[in-house]
Amino acid sequence: MTKTINNDQMKIWDFFQSKNKQSFIPALPRYNFLRKETKKYTKKGNKVLNIGIGLGFLEEKLSEDGFEVYALDPSKEVVKNLKAKNIKAKIGNIENHPFKKDFFDLIVISEVIEHIPKQNLKKAITEIHNILKYQGILIATVPYNENLQDNDTICPKCGNQFHRWGHHNTFKKKAFLNLFQNNFKIKKIKIMSFPDWAFSITRLIKALIKYLLGRFGSQITTPRIYLVAQKL
């Protein structure tokens, strides 16, 4: 397949993944959660794809866990860095990728679908379905009920308005569920947050409050929709 990637999205991803990596530090609890969930839903030695590299933390940990790990990202630099760590990383996005049909046992796509332009969403979900094996597992997260205008900003040079993280979509549970219902069996969908459970009394109290508020979708906790689906 040809690799056509939106240039504006590439600029945003390259900045955060290459020059502003500290912005991914708050995502570490989410990565740890996804690592545990991956181990729950598939076996060591199976082929696992993570779409959207970020820090590369998840790929490295899953490789240590004994999975055959692949990664897909539009950023040449982060792909190069991950390849240096013996991860099978490829340049591209889910709409245009290099993978064979019925190839992966499990796919993780966390905090990526909100970045995909609306007109490409159907194709993106179709491609995920295509490269998953029969009864393969999809694990996905997106921000819950985000007000996109809250993160709109403007370029002081050209005057263009854009979302500071490059988000195109916002989802409630039903809308997110509808993306997958035709070709997947939904095993789990819920609203949650990913608190840091690092041990200290203060941190544990804060983490517990964040977890409980996240279950109710409170925007204070930046809640996510968490979905697990199986290919039919």
C-alpha 170/C-alpha 147 separation (Å) is 7
Is residue 61 one of the residues assigned to a domain? Answer: yes
Is residue 58 one of the residues assigned to a domain? Answer: yes
In this structure, are residues 112 and 225 in contact, taking their beta carbons and an 8 Å threshold? no
Specify the range with the lowest mean pLDDT, choosing from 46-60, 69-83, 93-107, 193-207: 193-207
Is residue 178 one of the residues assigned to a domain? Answer: yes
Give the residue with greater pLDDT, 54 vs 114: 114
Query: pLDDT per residue over 56-68, tens digit each?
Result: 999 999 999 999 9
Which range scores top for mean pLDDT: 6-20, 26-40, 161-175, 191-205? Answer: 26-40
Tell me which residue of 71, 106, 124, 116 sits closest to 187, measured CA to CA.
Answer: 106
Q: Tell whether the model's pLDDT for residue 15 goes beyond 90.
A: no
Number of domains within the chain: 1
Q: Which amino acid is it at 50?
A: N
Is residue 73 one of the residues assigned to a domain? Answer: yes
Q: Tell whether the model's pLDDT for residue 174 goes beyond 50.
A: yes
Is residue 155 one of the residues assigned to a domain? Answer: yes
| CATH code at position 126 | 3.40.50.150
Q: Write down the pTM of the prediction.
A: 0.83
**Confidence label for 4 from pLDDT (cuts 50, 70 and 90):** very low
- In terms of residue numbers, what domain contains 113? 7-231
Is residue 227 one of the residues assigned to a domain? Answer: yes
Is residue 1 one of the residues assigned to a domain? Answer: no
- Give me the long-range contacts of 118-124 (CB less than 8 A, separation at least 24): 118/168, 118/169, 120/95, 121/169, 121/179, 123/95, 124/94, 124/95
Is residue 2 one of the residues assigned to a domain? Answer: no
